[in-house]
Amino acid sequence: SETIPAKMSCPALNHPEPEKSKDQFSKIFILPKLMIDYGTVKPGFYFYSNEIIDRFNIFGGASINSIKDHDLMLILEYHQWKPTFHIEIFNISRNIFNIAEKISEIPASLDYTFALTEFTLGISSWINSINHLRFNTTYSKYRTTTDTKIPHAGIYQNGFSYDYYNGLNFNLNWRLRKIRPNVNMDTNPNNGILLNTVISRNYDKFIKGFNVNNSYGTLEVDFRNNYYWKIEHEGIWHHKYPVVSKLIGSFKWRAGWISKPDIDSFFNFFAGGMPGLQGYPFYSIEGRNLFSLHYTLRFPLFMEKDVQLLPFNLQNAFIATYFEVGNAWNQVEGYQNLKWDTFIDEPIGITKSVISNFKKDVGFQLRFSGFSFYAYPTAISLDFVYGIDKFKIIDRQNIEHNYGKEWRSYLTILFGL
């Protein structure tokens, strides 16, 4: 016969008294890095540490090369409250040597050191599962030091330093991300939309020249105020084609507007390069207005394979072709000092004038994804892009530059997708 145990009494257990949770940080992890930056070798490292339940994060890095160019960064994030508080500090320096110039028609050689510092304080929060808001206050200070050598006159002047840019900017960033999950959603998203909008109020001061201080008889920087609103928006829509299910289309758009008509070109939008029209160099297309459209067709060559290429495990390969059109501009041709009233009266004529100056390019891409060293998600893409339209610009030194009607190539390697 079976014995059914009776109800048994349990002695009181000695539970420890509850204690308030304390911050506990993981050890500081240090990752060495090696950069090849404009022909120089720049060793350095990253470091990071997280609070054990992710209430506080620290991330930073440092690197330096043989000519004393350095990159320093520190990012702190505090997650204890509903909005995340963050502090970001960046400081970089660049040295340029032996720039040939003429001073009063006498040959001279100049060395420049640029020191750029930026401090950002902000908060961010997810509104729901797809909407994210971020507000930043950023202070920037750019400084340069000039060493002048005029051998014919026996002049060697070192250490003339001055600020050429000071800025205090406030910006609100809204980001929406709604992408259908799939195994290749990072390298080949096939359904969903991404939107990103930034509204900024900027208080920028940029160098106009030098004045003599009446009290001390020394040179001081004459700044020009550039106070303006800036709106930037970009989005991308990924979609499938019903007939060819593996064919993916991506429609991307970019738009931007700066309120100050006579703003210094230092603050312009730039519409070329990888973020924009890839058939043209980044700085070749600029202005205080920006608009561009990009359409990509992507098709898989193979997916979910296992091809070992030294440390890289290749799993997916895609081929794509794309067409891009757009421009950045200051004035609309034929409509000087354009105002909204004029646009309302002549919307068709003004739109035609804007579109007539759009630049176009066509490109092809190979994209590969997989893992490096069995652990690091890796994506590699190779682009070849042809600029269809030919145009020229004349820079501040009155030098003419010609762009377009040429092939440009881009190699991109990304980790951690």
Q: What is the pTM of this model?
A: 0.84
pLDDT for the residue 410: 96
**Which two three-digit tokens encode residue 130?**
């797809």
Condensed to tens digits (0 to 9), the pLDDT of residues 303-319 reads 888 888 888 889 999 99
What percent of the chain is modeled with pLDDT above 70?
92
d(CA 35, CA 365): 25
Condensed to tens digits (0 to 9), the pLDDT of residues 199-254 reads 999 999 999 988 887 777 778 889 999 999 999 999 999 999 988 889 999 999 99
Residue 417 has pLDDT above 60, yes or no: no
Taken in order 12, 17, 18, 21, the sign of the CA dihedral is negative
Q: Counting Cβ atoms within 10 Å, is residue 180 exposed (0-12), middle (13-18) or buried (19+)?
A: exposed
Residue 2 has pLDDT above 60, yes or no: no
- Among residues 16, 37, 25, 42, which one has the least CA distance to residue 76? 25
The pLDDT confidence band at residue 38, using thresholds 50, 70 and 90, is confident
Angle at 16 between CA 14 and CA 22, to 5 degrees: 170
- The CA–CA distances, whole Å, from 80 to 30, 86, 137, 376 equal 25, 12, 21, 29
- Among residues 144, 138, 68, 74, which one has the least CA distance to residue 110? 144
- For 357, other C-beta atoms within 10 Å of its C-beta total 12
pLDDT for the residue 4: 60
- For 113, other C-beta atoms within 10 Å of its C-beta total 19
The pLDDT confidence band at residue 22, using thresholds 50, 70 and 90, is low
Please name the residue that has the structure tokens 């892009």: 385
Asked if residues 287 and 254 have their Cβ atoms less than 8 Å apart, the reply is no
- The CA–CA distances, whole Å, from 397 to 104, 149, 391, 400 equal 16, 21, 18, 9
pLDDT for the residue 218: 77
Amino acid at 392: K
**Which two three-digit tokens encode residue 376?**
């690091």
DSSP class per residue in 164-219: EEEEEEEEEEEEEEEE---TTTTTS--SEEEEEEEEEEEEEEEEEEEEE-TTT--E
- The CA–CA distances, whole Å, from 255 to 34, 120, 258, 291, 382 equal 36, 25, 11, 4, 26
* Spans of all domains in the chain: 24-80, 180-196+231-417
d(CA 116, CA 141): 6
**Which two three-digit tokens encode residue 93?**
């320096």
Compute the radius of gyration of the chain from its Cα atoms: 28
Condensed to tens digits (0 to 9), the pLDDT of residues 44-100 reads 999 988 877 778 899 999 999 998 999 999 999 998 888 999 999 999 999 988 777
Residue 266's φ and ψ, nearest 5 degrees, are -55, -25
Please name the residue that has the structure tokens 């002049």: 155
**Which two three-digit tokens encode residue 208?**
């106009």
Strands (E), 79-151: 84-103, 106-126, 131-150
pLDDT for the residue 7: 59
d(CA 254, CA 264): 22
Q: Using the 8-state DSSP alphabet, how is residue 28 labeled?
A: P
Strands (E), 289-374: 289-302, 307-309, 312-329, 359-372
**Which two three-digit tokens encode residue 403?**
């762009």
- The CA–CA distances, whole Å, from 246 to 178, 181, 185, 314, 366 equal 20, 16, 13, 19, 16
